[in-house]
Amino acid sequence: MTVPRAGANAQQTTRQELPAYNRWLYGWFMWYVRGYLRRHFHAVRLLKAGDAAHTPDLRDQPVLIYTNHPGWWDPLIFLAVAQRLFPDRLNYGPIDAAALGKYSFLESIGFLGIE
């Protein structure tokens, strides 16, 4: 993640380290999320997800999953999709900074607070 340096123009940035990632806590949280999504959603489907011809090989590439609107469900859906498609990767995602302040453990499982 990069952030602009104070007094710098938009093209000058400083690298900021990501928070430590707790894999055990992430595993527990994903167990909870899978059950939570099962109770609240009939299904989550991805267009052409099972079609190998339309699935690029992204093992060595960065991947960004996004939607066109923010919502409470988005981070949970992103986590479930990322874990399913990219189980060996550390997954990070945005969340409202106020929510991160309220649930600080989320920072150790890949959530990054945004204003």
Instruction: Give a yes or no: residue 10 inside a domain.
Output: no
Choose among 47, 45, 22, 24: nearest CA to 104.
Answer: 22
State pLDDT tens for residues 32-78.
999 999 999 898 777 766 666 666 777 788 887 776 666 677 778 88
**Distance from CA of residue 62 to its chain's centroid?**
12
Instruction: Give a yes or no: residue 1 inside a domain.
Output: no
Instruction: Give a yes or no: residue 3 inside a domain.
Output: no
Tokens of 112: 């990054």
| Domain enclosing residue 88, as ranges | 18-52+61-114
State mean pLDDT over 90-108: 86
Instruction: Give a yes or no: residue 69 inside a domain.
Output: yes
Instruction: Give a yes or no: residue 41 inside a domain.
Output: yes
The CA dihedral of 80, 86, 90, 92, to the nearest 10 degrees, is: -50
Look at residue 6 in the predicted model and tell me its pLDDT. Answer: 55
Number of domains making up the chain: 1
Instruction: Give a yes or no: residue 8 inside a domain.
Output: no
Q: Where are the alpha helices (DSSP H) in 1-115?
A: 23-40, 73-85, 97-102
Q: Which position has the higher pLDDT, 55 or 6?
A: 55
Q: How far apart are CA 100 and CA 92, in angstroms?
A: 13
